[in-house]
Amino acid sequence: MRAKAQIAGLMDMASWHKVQRNLARIMDIRILDMDIGHQTLKLVYDSPRAFEGAKQELQRIGCPIVHCTFETALQNNQKPKKKQHHHAIRNTRK
């Protein structure tokens, strides 16, 4: 499955390297592209659980997902369907 996410806090090469390093530790996630200018991340994941792990890791390192578009693969070489989900930025500190 594929996702394209808008990431808050992806502003420079240091944050780019941090995201790449930390998501590389999650076995079922592969980064396809990261764009600092548009603050976007394209990735492939094997399961919803893997995506949730990536989402939690991005939140933990200060680069939460603001908006995400999911593509689900179809059979018979059809174009993928896109589903949009908005993730609200929440402050979990008390």
Residue-range domain boundaries for the chain:
2-86
Residue 91 has pLDDT above 60, yes or no: no
For the segment 19-23, the average pLDDT, to the nearest whole number, is: 95
| Structure confidence at residue 72 (pLDDT) | 73
For 34-86, the pLDDT digits (tens) are 999 999 999 999 999 999 999 999 999 999 999 999 987 654 455 555 555 55
| Burial of 76 per CB tally in 10 Å (0-12, 13-18, 19+) | exposed
Q: Are strands 40-45 and 65-72 parallel, antiparallel or unpaired?
A: unpaired
| Structure confidence at residue 36 (pLDDT) | 92
**Which helix or strand (DSSP H or E) is residue 65 part of?**
strand 65-72
Which pTM does this prediction carry?
0.74
Considering only the top CATH level, what class is 2-86?
A: alpha beta
